[in-house]
Amino acid sequence: MSQTGQVPDVVVVGGGAIGVCTAFELVRRGARVTVLERGGELAWGCSAGNAGLITPSHATPLANPEALREGLRWMWRPDSPFYLRPRPAVLPWLARFARASTPERVRASTPVIRALATASLAQHVELAAAGLDTAFERRGALSVYESESAFAHAREHAAESERAGTRARVLDPAEARELEPALVADVAGAVYYPDDSHCDPLRFVGAVGAAAAEAGATIRTRVEVLGLRRSAGRVEAVVTTSGDVAAGEVVLAAGAWTPLLARPLGLYVPVEGGKGYHVDFEPADGDPRLPTWFDETRVIATPLPGRLRLAGTLELAGLDLSVDRRRVDAIVRAGQRGLRGLAGRRVLEVWRGLRPCTPDGLPIVGRAPGYENLMLATGHAMMGLTLAPVTGLLVAELLTGGEPSHDLDPLRPERFQPVLGRD
């Protein structure tokens, strides 16, 4: 319960993976919860179409020396896996990204992400075991490398993962093809992470949202939050297209759009939209059984119910949702180069979504500075599906007066406030 001993009355803004998991964990602890989602249904944003991976193995934050190097190299190529649309507004974010992309910062952040992801994976397992239809599969995931240098780097990463308790098996090309016969690429080698898992992200959000509703949460779709009305360090009401909604507590889980709601409150939330795409194909015999990540092209192939999904690219282009055909074509080419039988296959869907990316690669979870009843839960970048259950748990623990099950210091929103920040 809350510090005052009252049952909290919580409005969660955003019905993506983070919003529904927050609602689910809160309602299980007896809170009264309303989720406000502007879309016609839940998962109207990035959570609908991601690659579906739940990966403690990929715990390196987005801000790392390699990303900085490759980002600079790739940013001028229209078909590259990374693109930055130059805009003055992105410069402060980029400066922080560069400052966070040091080996020391990565050494500090990686165990934080790994611990959260490992705990969250256990929650994904529990949700599936409780009967939620998330299409969860624990088959592991395969990372594939074409160049010897990338493979050498991957072996170091695998050894480091093992030391940290995440199992990893280094495979030569023959072993890789034996494990995943769908591979055609002339690979240098691969690493198999047996504990990684995957699920259908759209089903995940739908199932968790339905479970939250069944437990008593109110889910309101087609309700857009226009702003938050504040008075003396409190949010008094959430102003929406369907009138004002009073709230004891408010959680902003609006993904890449969170800064738009936070800024008028005087809060600096440096979350940039990192656009990515998926291309879904009709499934066919011989499709990969394992989610397979092609390192050189940064494309992931995930077998999902009724489709084979290729997902990739990261375009820092603000909130722009236009589709760049060159990037979509590059994803398809990467899939065809790496997997059997994709040429000429019917495409079911092309989709794009905006990852909420922080400049230091860590999510933002905690009380908004200066507000006694406002929480932020966003900035999960490439790991939002993976980390959604543990984020929901942490927010619920904070709001119901419990001891957070993880150290929240690295995730605190204050780290970015221009005056109070320490980075």
Ligand X SMILES: Cc1cc2nc3c(=O)[nH]c(=O)nc-3n(C[C@H](O)[C@H](O)[C@H](O)COP(=O)(O)OP(=O)(O)OC[C@H]3O[C@@H](n4cnc5c(N)ncnc54)[C@H](O)[C@@H]3O)c2cc1C
Residues lying near ligand X in the complex (CB under 6 A) are found at 13-19, 36-39, 44-47, 50-53, 224-225, 253-257, 261, 276-278, 311, 353, 355-356, 378, 380-386
Q: In whole angstroms, how close is the CB of 42 to ligand X at the nearest point?
A: 7
Q: Which residue number, 177 or 289, has a Cβ lying nearer to ligand X?
A: 289
- Cβ atoms < 10 Å from Cβ of 130: 9
- Please give the backbone phi and psi of residue 151, each rounded to the nearest 5 degrees, phi first: -65, -40
What 3 state SS string does the chain have?
Answer: CCCCCCCCEEEEECCCHHHHHHHHHHHHCCCEEEEECCCCCCCCCHHHCCCCEECCCCCCCCCCHHHHHHHHHHCCCCCCCEEECCCHHHHHHHHHHHHHCCHHHHHHHHHHHHHHHHHHHHHHHHHHHCCCCCCCECCCEEEEECCHHHHHHHHHHHHHHHHCCCCCEEECHHHHHHHCCCECCCCCEEEEECCCEECCHHHHHHHHHHHHHHCCCEEECCCCEEEEEEECCEEEEEEEECEEEECCEEEECCHHHHHHHHHHHCCCCCCEEEEEEEEEECCCCCCCCCCEEECCCCEEEEEECCEEEEEEEEEECCCCCCCCHHHHHHHHHHHHHHECCCCCCCEEEEEEEEEEECCCCCCEEEECCCCCCEEEEECCHHHHHHHHHHHHHHHHHHHCCCCCCCCCHHHCHHHHCCCCCCC
Q: Which residue number, 106 or 261, has a Cβ lying nearer to ligand X?
A: 261
Strands (E), 1-78: 9-13, 32-36, 53-54
Question: What burial class does residue 388 get, using C-beta atoms within 10 Å of its C-beta: 0-12 exposed, 13-18 middle, 19+ buried?
Answer: buried
Q: Which residue number, 383 or 399, has a Cβ lying nearer to ligand X?
A: 383
Q: In whole angstroms, how close is the CB of 394 to ligand X at the nearest point?
A: 14
Q: Which residue number, 44 or 188, has a Cβ lying nearer to ligand X?
A: 44
Q: Which residue number, 262 or 311, has a Cβ lying nearer to ligand X?
A: 311
Q: Which residue number, 1 or 115, has a Cβ lying nearer to ligand X?
A: 115
Q: In whole angstroms, how close is the CB of 414 to ligand X at the nearest point?
A: 20
The residue of the chain with the least Cβ separation from ligand X equals 384
Q: Which residue number, 96 or 278, has a Cβ lying nearer to ligand X?
A: 278
Q: In whole angstroms, how close is the CB of 351 to ligand X at the nearest point?
A: 8
Q: In whole angstroms, how close is the CB of 73 to ligand X at the nearest point?
A: 21
Q: Which residue number, 6 or 242, has a Cβ lying nearer to ligand X?
A: 242
Q: In whole angstroms, how close is the CB of 13 to ligand X at the nearest point?
A: 6
Q: Which residue number, 188 or 328, has a Cβ lying nearer to ligand X?
A: 328
Q: In whole angstroms, how close is the CB of 127 to ligand X at the nearest point?
A: 14
Q: In whole angstroms, how close is the CB of 253 to ligand X at the nearest point?
A: 6
Q: In whole angstroms, how close is the CB of 381 to ligand X at the nearest point?
A: 6
